[in-house]
Amino acid sequence: MSQPIWFQTPTSDHLQTIRTGTIEESLGIEITEIGPDYIRGTLPADQRTFQPTGRIHGGANVVLAESLGSLGANLVVDQTQYVCFGMEVNANHLRGVSQGKVTGTARPLHLGKTTHVWEIKIHDDDDQLTCISRLTMAVVRR
């Protein structure tokens, strides 16, 4: 098992508080697990996240990916001294999802002093890869 990368692991109460009133709350994104070097969360496949064809909108996948990677980046740094902001995000949408939920897992590829790069893999309920995303974060001194 990997050594934990987190500066401070948040409590479930803290995770609930920081998502209140955000796009994550509006879309129904839930953080389901924080492992030693990853964050996992879900996004429902429903009317909040669908495009007109009845499948998860690519933008909703990107919101899930950026939410997980951004949370991860901010949990790696000392938040009294630094804050992390998204610089670039990309996504390859590989398979449509029209029911259930998707689960994203974010892991760092690079944790530098001024930038982080995170990879986020999103799977459907059958564990099929539906989207892969990469997120670059700026680490900024407060």
> For 115-136, what is each residue's pLDDT tens digit?
999 999 999 999 999 999 999 9
CB 97 within 8 A of CB 55: yes
- Which position among 33, 66, 88, 119 bears the catalytic label? 66
- Note the pLDDT of residue 135: 98
pTM: 0.94
What are 74's two structure tokens? Answer: 């901010």
The β-bridge partners of 117 are: 110, 136
- Note the pLDDT of residue 13: 79
Does the CA dihedral 22-83-71-45 come out positive or negative?
Answer: positive
Q: Which CATH superfamily hosts domain 12-141?
A: Hotdog Thioesterase (3.10.129.10)
Distance, CA of 43 to CA of 60 (rounded, Å): 8
User: Is 60 exceeded by the pLDDT of residue 1?
Assistant: no
Respond yes or no: is residue 66 known to be catalytic: yes
> For 69-88, what is each residue's pLDDT tens digit?
999 999 999 999 999 999 99
Q: Write down the mean pLDDT value for the chain.
A: 95
